[in-house]
Amino acid sequence: MGHYPSLKSVMFTDKKIFVYYGFLGDNNYGDELVYHATKALFEKDILLPVSRYMPILLRLFVSLNKSKISGIAVGGGTLVGRFNMAAFFEDLVISGKSVYMHGTGVKEVIGEQNAWSKVLSRGNFGGVRGPMSVQNIAVIKKEMKIVGDAAFALFSDSTFQDRGNNKKVLINLGTHASYHGQEFFRKEFKEFITFLIGDGYVVNYLPFHEIDLELGNELKKEFAEINILKQPDGFEACAELFADCTFAIGERLHFTVMAVMTKSPFISINYAKKHEDLLLSLDIPEAGLSPDLASITKIKDAFIKRKDFEWTTVRKLMIDYKDRQFAEMRQFVSKS
């Protein structure tokens, strides 16, 4: 999917090479979004993803040419937990490389604490997604900055526009595992879809993963009126879909991130702590519902009051986070 630079481009370059630790989407839109956000940050340099499944010649290159690597970029997503290829990244830090954290989420219980502690032992740059991540990472690293979600590097006022009062609603379902309250929420969600269709709204289902598509196709068997959209190809295409709706509700974290970045009134279904972390970072915890409390009454109330959504603070915080991400990146690159 074009994630990797060519071997020639890394062997014969005057640019700095930063290895990337993070998920690659492979048809997971959220992972693609944060990867391309990090690429946008380091557009003047070379970003080289490192994983067990990278092309064999590139893997051989990074193993034999660690001196050519300028530093480590830890991408978005909730990454501080299980640590793949920890020894490789530890060796880089031991050799003097610094770390830039791009809005990384931190699990409540950090797996491989010792490895993460070693990697973050040097002065590191950037920061984590939100206040809950700051609290979780404190066991191994104090005084961590909040820089918001990695996708905020792509924020622009050109996509942050008032929504038209049209009759289109964007919806999404999808998780990698079942969660507490899932059965209750999805039952209430279907009632909301029934309400929308009955009131003349166009319901567009936006999948961010093939799991989501399967769930969408199941919904369509019950609600023939639902339009199943194609997974978006990049940020701009996704932003256009959100710009064309009057309200958005979904499970995926980066479905909510896209709603925030496009000024689309929304309700987040907080099936995981990462959703709460995101909303707290933007000072809008009330914009999320715990799945076991996401009744049709509360969903409809958020929908009816969608024009009352207060965006001023949200926009200011996203701009501040984006500026912080770029400022930290520039310091990181200059000292790498």
Domain range list for the chain: 7-154+319-334, 168-304
Q: What is the CATH number of domain 7-154+319-334?
A: 3.40.50
Q: Which amino acid is at 259?
A: A
At 121 the pLDDT is: 87
Phi and psi at residue 165, to the nearest 5°: -85, 60
156 has a pLDDT exceeding 70:
yes
Least confident of 119-123, 156-160, 329-333: 119-123
Contact 254, 30 (CB under 8 A): yes
Contact 127, 101 (CB under 8 A): yes
Task: Check if 7-154+319-334 and 168-304 are the same fold.
Answer: yes
| pLDDT tens-digit map of 81-115 | 989 899 999 999 999 999 999 999 999 999 889 99
Q: Taking residues 310-327, report their average pLDDT.
A: 97
pTM here is: 0.94
Domain 168-304 classification at class level: alpha beta
The set of long-range contacts for 113-117, using a CB threshold of 8 Å and a minimum separation of 24, is 113/139, 113/140, 115/83, 115/86, 115/87, 115/89, 115/90, 116/80, 116/83, 116/86, 116/140, 117/141
Angstrom distance (rounded) from CA 336 to CA 323: 20
